[in-house]
Structure 1
């Protein structure tokens, strides 16, 4: 059986007809659906690219995985300007689809959902973030997509969430509120992370000496300040002004990297700031995480961030924010407002002066991350996919 998957992905197509993405959403990611379905069709925004542009990128398509293109648009202005072109592409994408899984929230995925529903065929949702936070800078979009997600989760046959509790309460499914026992309404939760056993490391021992204390941070795309890059740069500035030997490594790449590099120069801390650029391989990310002493993630909007789980898996103590599913991972004492430079800084000072607490955090984080190891998540995902497939047979 063929499954249509709509997601907020951005693909590049080279002249040989192959599809590529920067990170995470390569063939291995989409192949998880092949454990139940025989063929996967990904509906994604796509644009042509030169082969040089995709160096280091991940191949998306392959055996039994194909791509149906939507116009490559970013931002609400482009969607509005090219609305009818986009809608024509969406209608074409869903024309022959018999079964769908929609990953929300996403402007393009919401559009795919709208036209797939008209077919009257079974579909399920994977809710991966909260639009209330994701669209916080645009109150109209925030209201509209929060409302749309609440409607969507009540109408879908199945809904899976990346959190174990938070998103379920804000966006309940029919299976939850009506206590349905029928097979045509069902609910689950699982992270979309692919965390294999060899990614994990042992908890850490800390001996704080004269070596730099290294902060590490991960963001797939450095295109906004939603992940807190500016907050971290100000933390480094504050701590160095207090004579703490602090450095930071930012994993990832994007259109705002140059802006943050310039900000680090303005703060006169640029020699203590490292940008790795694009790292497509999980092992490359792992090596950078292992070189850090603490993971700091002042994010403004998340579902259940894989970046935090990966850092926990290699034994890094983590500081973050109390948004969406993060309190399901970290204790309240390690969560601060995303703009609160003082609280993050004070906590880091406290931890530098207390290596035993760092070691305790490391132990707890590895133990918690084991809940997200792939062998545990695979069965939950497959059970969910199978319930959807049975509705289509």
Structure 2
């Protein structure tokens, strides 16, 4: 059986082969290939001069259809016209569709599947309404948020099966019809063997070393963490931070870092290629922090937790499903972040308890637990063909 996987993720292409520097690796595709004979990935891809380390993803059973490296407003406004022919052809050749949403290609593939009377499954990894509302407060952003939410609700109403990355928000905001098979499954592929033992803090770390792994986008709210670090320093608590990731906000954040007098305390590490590089950076630090305004169920937090890192984060999306209530804060409440930093910097017992919670949580998201559930959901989709 042949399935189409539609996603807005941007892969890398080199001489007709496809690679990924983020999370769409061989392990990511293994569950799709366990259920389907062939998978065609309809996606965007950016050409690169040198291939990254590791094998190319495409092969006899996994094929890629590149609709081009188009981004920003042009992609948001014109994706349907730019990619319609490629999506229609791919769906016509397949038996079923898996749409990773919210995304332009996922939405288009789901609608084409309906017209061609092909069953489709939605994999919901975020809330589009929340995402657009965090980009701005003007009427255009509010209108876009309503439109995107309506699109996803429509996709959910007509799908043959559905998967949601968090259990507390997305299944209720974008429910499938009664009787449709649904699951709550994280997108992470976490090896049980990679989970470490809890960390035991004999003394409070000084300085308190923070790390975050996230694209440098406005909705990730790195500025909140920078201001909290500056406020903590004013209270006598010294923090250092590693920001891994890149994006359009980097120059703005670097200027803010200098204005706050934190140039000696904050490092912008850029994109770290490969899980080993990320794990090495996390191992150098004490606490993982994610102050985002919107999240589905962030894999970066789970990866940090699997290493025994205490984690703090905002109350956005599925973060409260991972992080203890006393270690979360309201989005944008810099003072709350500062209080957390000051508390952790003086309380090794708390850090040890947080680390134990991290390991306990990570063990609930290992691939040996999640993979069979994914495959079972794909088998349910096959039954609808």
Q: Distance in 1 between matches of 2:280 and 2:193?
A: 12
Query: Residues 237-294 of structure 1, C-alpha deviation per residue, up to 9 Å, x if partnerless?
Result: 2222323221001122234323322321222211211122222322222222222111
* 8 A contact 2:97–2:109 mirrored in 1: no
Q: Distance in 2 between matches of 1:301 and 1:378?
A: 26
Which residue is 2:170 aligned to?
A: 167
* 8 A contact 1:21–1:57 mirrored in 2: no
Note the 1:111-126 alignment, pairs <5 A.
111-126=108-123
Which residue is 2:345 aligned to?
A: 352
Which residue is 1:74 aligned to?
A: 71
Q: How many Å apart are 1:37 and its aligned residue?
A: 0.9
Which residue is 2:147 aligned to?
A: 144
Which residue is 2:128 aligned to?
A: 131
Q: How many Å apart are 1:160 and its aligned residue?
A: 1.0
Q: How many Å apart are 1:143 and its aligned residue?
A: 0.3
Q: How many Å apart are 1:50 and its aligned residue?
A: 3.7
Q: How many Å apart are 1:58 and its aligned residue?
A: 7.6
* 8 A contact 2:166–2:318 mirrored in 1: yes
SS of the equivalent of 2:33 reads: helix
Which residue is 1:338 aligned to?
A: 331
2:157 to 154, 158, 163: 154
Which residue is 2:285 aligned to?
A: 292
Query: Residues 297-330 of structure 1, C-alpha deviation per residue, up to 9 Å, x if partnerless?
Result: 1011111111111122212111111122122112
1:323 to 294, 316, 321: 316
* 8 A contact 1:57–1:280 mirrored in 2: no
Q: How many Å apart are 1:106 and its aligned residue?
A: 0.9
SS of the equivalent of 1:135 reads: helix
Which residue is 1:10 aligned to?
A: 10
Deviation >4 Å, runs of 4+: 54-58
Note the 1:36-115 alignment, pairs <5 A.
36-47=35-46, 49-52=47-50, 54-55=51-52, 59-80=56-77, 84-115=81-112
1:278 and 2:271 are equivalent in the alignment: yes
RMSD of equivalent CA atoms: 2.0
* 8 A contact 1:322–1:336 mirrored in 2: yes
1:363 to 332, 356, 362: 356
Q: Distance in 1 between matches of 2:114 and 2:353?
A: 49
The number of aligned residues is 379
* 8 A contact 2:205–2:345 mirrored in 1: no
**TM-score, normalised relative to structure 1:** 0.90
* 8 A contact 1:21–1:58 mirrored in 2: no
Note the 1:233-248 alignment, pairs <5 A.
233-248=226-241
Q: Distance in 2 between matches of 1:134 and 1:41?
A: 28
* 8 A contact 1:4–1:42 mirrored in 2: yes
* 8 A contact 2:21–2:274 mirrored in 1: no
Note the 1:176-215 alignment, pairs <5 A.
178=178, 180=179, 185-208=180-203, 211-215=206-210
**TM-score, normalised relative to structure 2:** 0.92
Q: Distance in 2 between matches of 1:358 and 1:210?
A: 10
5+ residue gaps, structure 1, are: none
Q: How many Å apart are 1:78 and its aligned residue?
A: 4.2
Stretch deviating more after TM superposition (127-136 or 80-89): 80-89
Which residue is 1:303 aligned to?
A: 296
- Alignment CA distance shift 1:101-1:83 (3 Å): closer
Stretch deviating more after TM superposition (349-358 or 91-100): 91-100
Which residue is 2:262 aligned to?
A: 269
* 8 A contact 1:322–1:337 mirrored in 2: yes
Query: Residues 81-110 of structure 1, C-alpha deviation per residue, up to 9 Å, x if partnerless?
Result: 575333233323323222111111112211
